[in-house]
Each structure stands twice: as C-alpha cells, then as structure tokens.
Structure 1
Amino acid sequence: MPNLFDTTPATPAAERTEPLLTAAGVRLERVLSLGQASPPGFWYDQAEAEWVAVLSGRARLAIAGEAHDRELGPGDAVFLPAGCRHRVAWTDPDQPTVWLALFVDPTLGPALGPAPQERK
C-alpha cells in the first residue's frame, strides 16, 4: 500500500488513481492530481455514493445545482449521494492534490453522521 501522502511522481500528464481497499459494495481509492480537471461539459453521474476528502493540495469541485464551486483544501471532505452530478473544476497545478475517495453501493444506505441504529 502506498504512503497516503506520497506525491511522486505527480505529473500534469495524467491523474493517478490507486485502489487501496475493496469489499462487497465498498471501494477506497487514493487519487493524485496535478492540474487536472474534468473535461469541459463532463459530469460524473455515478450509481455509487462517494465520500471524498482532500489530504493535501487544493481543488474545486462543482456540484450540479450549486451556484458556486466548493473550494477544498487539506482536511475538507464532501459526501456525494448516488446520482449527484459533479465534476472536478480545478486542481492546483503547482502542488499535487492527494484525495481519498470512498465509493459505497447505495443499497448499503450510506449517510453522514452516526449509524442508523444510533440516531435518535
């Protein structure tokens, strides 16, 4: 398993995605970006829910229906329910951005906060 903060080799040529863990209905990936963004007009529209966190670097995430891009830096995280259209608007071209992306099958009921049996 790679060091989560390893930024070599980060190049503007291609974003790097590394699978870290997989299980039934769950996938954890580490993504390393250096100036990459989603192509113009392209939107992710995934069947899975996604929780994404920036470990280092900076990025902007556009979410359909939101007036402004979300600015993300170290420690910032976003939960994207299944079917939430989104795109990477920008990643810092001067320093690598390291992301953790957790993908979860929506039938597992992913939600933010305590587990359903703990909610009151």
Structure 2
Amino acid sequence: MSLNDINKLFFDLEEEYGVSNNILREKNAPFWILVSHNFQVPFYYLSYGLASDVSLQIWQLSQEDYRKAVDVYMDFLNQNTDAGFKDVVEKVNLQLPFQDGNLEEISSTLYDYFGIDNPLELKNAS
C-alpha cells in the first residue's frame, strides 16, 4: 500500500465516521501524520486493544461473579509488570487476547448485553 493509498483510506474513513477535517484534507495533510507516536512508538495503539480485551474479560466475569472479578482485577494489579503482559494475563487465569475463540466469546457477551443481533450467529444460521 503506497502512502497515497494510506492517506486516501484515512480521509475516506474520516468522512465515513463523520470526523473529517476539510482544512487538512485540502492540504493533503492527514491527521495521522501529525500524531508522533505513530512513528516513535508504532505499537502504541496495540496496547489499547490488548488492555480492552483483558478489561472486557474482567467485566464479563463480573456479570457472573462480581466478587471473583474484583479479586482477579486486584490480583492483576498486584502482578510484577516486569513479567510481561502474556505472563501476567496467564497468571491471573484470563485468556490471551489472540487465543482462539476469545474475541468471539467476548463479542457474543457484548451483543447479548446490549440486545444486539450477533452477526456471527446470523451468518452461521444461514
């Protein structure tokens, strides 16, 4: 994908989500270029997804057993961060975000919670 392709995709997505900045678009200066950590710490955004996944697992547990979820959360906070994300997640008996079935399970719980038809179930039913 060329830089022009990336910029076009960025501008198209801005427009689709209603956050288009016409001044930057007219100058062909997409906002993503102005965000320094895209270049200095390229995996920065990945941490949002990983943390969200673990947080949602704890939330999911809280729907079944609130006290246990609090205990898992406190245990997670008390882990030695030098151990690394993978080791900490495994030590508190949560699933790693990329473990098979993890995202499907969490998304299914969220669809149920918010009363939204699960597109995975609709796809499998047809």
TM-score by length of structure 1 reads 0.22
Say which structure, 1 or 2, has more relative contact order (CA 8 Å, 6+ apart). Answer: 1
Q: If you compute each CA radius of gyration, which structure gives the higher value, 1 or 2? A: 2
> Which one has the bigger helix percentage?
2
> Which one has the bigger strand percentage?
1
